[in-house]
Structure 1
């Protein structure tokens, strides 16, 4: 996944549920989206694991398939 910093357009590093821009030192909250319907996903956290669930009929979504965008 390649996220560009909205401030300086550099590529950002994904750190958990945030993106960090090393160039301008900004952090941005990310929103997880279903890759099938582009609706926000529920984030399920338990025992150190993070899972994603789509309430719009797509069920559990692998974190490898999740689309992220900068939260508004």
Structure 2
């Protein structure tokens, strides 16, 4: 199954733990939600298969029944480049 950008429909690339859309210049995370209660699911991976666990319903959910969405990854302030502040004060000895 190919992972497509929710904004432009182009294929997403897997880079450094996130999905990247080069045409949109957006970064996404793949998140699962419970079809019963809409709570965020915990992803469980073992022996090549992926399942999800809902802590609200206390049930294991298969990948085919979970609601899987791509959410825009929030940008961290440490990744933001700010213009350097110039001091207007002069120190006089």
Q: TM-score, normalised by structure 2?
A: 0.51
Could you tell me which runs of 5 or more consecutive residues in structure 2 were left unpaired when the two chains were aligned.
75-93
Between Structure 1 and Structure 2, the one with more strand by share is: 1
Moved over 4 A (4+): 12-20
Q: Distance in 2 between matches of 1:40 and 1:50?
A: 15
Number of aligned residues: 68
User: Structure 1 regions of 5+ residues with no counterpart?
Assistant: none
Question: Alpha-carbon deviation of 1:65?
Answer: 2.0
| Cα displacement (A) at 1:52 | 0.5
The aligned residue for residue 62 of structure 1 is: 62
- Normalising by the residue count of structure 1, what TM-score does the alignment of the two structures yield? 0.62
State which structure, 1 or 2, has the greater radius of gyration over its C-alpha atoms.
2
Change (3 A) 1:3 1:36: farther
